[in-house]
Amino acid sequence: MILARAEQATRRYGDVIALDHVDLEVRAGEMVGLLGPNGAGKSTLLSLLVGMRRPTSGRVELFGGDPRDPVRRRRIGVTPQETGLPPTLRVGEVVDFVSAHYADPVPRAELLGRFGLDDLTRRQTGGMSGGQKRRLAVALAFVGRPQLVFLDEPTTGLDVEARHALWDGIRSFHDEGGTVLLTSHYLEEIEALAHRVVVLGQGRVLADDTVDAVRGVVGVRRVSLDTRDDLPELAGVVGVEQADGRTHLLATDADQLVRDLVRSGVAFSNLEIRPTSLEEAFLTITARGDQPIAA
């Protein structure tokens, strides 16, 4: 069952094309990661799907109908990128206020416990750390027992421990059958949580596939070596890095690169070839910009 859908959705802000004919389907039970650099259009896509903005052209659907319909919106949970919590209200009061909008909200203690906030029930939100506020903002997306949750960069500003606590909260929702669409700049976050990744670049879908497949499609390998020589122009090299006294080349065809290196007469040692991380694959895809690599 498709819970949210964009069909050829385009959104302009004046001259800026934030989304350019985007197709996306989110099915029940999925956890989908939306990846893309700053300005790729991730937040805009979420704002269309949750009914906060309308597409300039194309269609968006939530539970098979108009996302602006309050009946549909009551079945979703949202954490926007920026959250404003009333600073003088206590954490418990904020939760109670949001809960009051739903027929069967998650009990306060259970919700706060799930996100590691149970000690803070009586704290005014103005006295919370940035990370604590972020956890509360994410927790609030779950209070109405939503079927589908949209999280825009949920763990921005969190330290490692808080990030893991939040991942656990998101995972437990998903394990119980919930559906999640999340954006992130943390590529390890998508990898840790989601099986499917949609890569956006300059408003277009560059890839929509499993995390493994995206890596496979890109097929970039990291070729590392020690050399004192200047390297010649080498075909298929999409990135060069110097780190720890070694030279690292990101290559679309590592075998060919090694043959070219040997042929070039460059003196090198300690050659090592390994698969790239998702981050490297992602940078390669977005650098290619205009070439969609997967349907």
Site for ligand ATP in 118-177 (CB under 6 A): none
Q: Which of 4, 24, 40, 205 binds ligand ATP (CB under 6 A)?
A: 40
Q: C-beta of 24: minimal distance to ligand ATP in Å?
A: 14
30, 33, 44, 215: residue in contact with ligand ATP (rule CB under 6 A): 44
Could you give the string, one character per residue 55-94, with x where binding to ligand ATP holds by CB under 6 A and - elsewhere?
--------------------------x-------------
d(CA 37, CA 283): 9
Report how many residues bind ligand ATP under the rule CB under 6 A. 12
Phi, psi of 271 (to 5 degrees): -65, 135
Nearest-approach distance from CB 198 to ligand ATP, in angstroms: 12
Per CB under 6 A, does 6 bind ligand ATP? no
Assess 33 for contact with ligand ATP (CB under 6 A): no
CB of 118 to ligand ATP, least distance (A): 31
When asked if residue 43 is in the footprint of ligand ATP (CB under 6 A), the reply is yes
Terminal-residue alpha carbon distance, the chain: 20
Question: Quick one: 22 or 128, whose CB is closer to ligand ATP?
Answer: 22
In the complex, minimum distance from the CB of residue 80 to ligand ATP, in angstroms, rounded to a whole number: 10
Chain residues binding ligand ATP by CB under 6 A are 13, 16, 18, 36, 38-44, 81
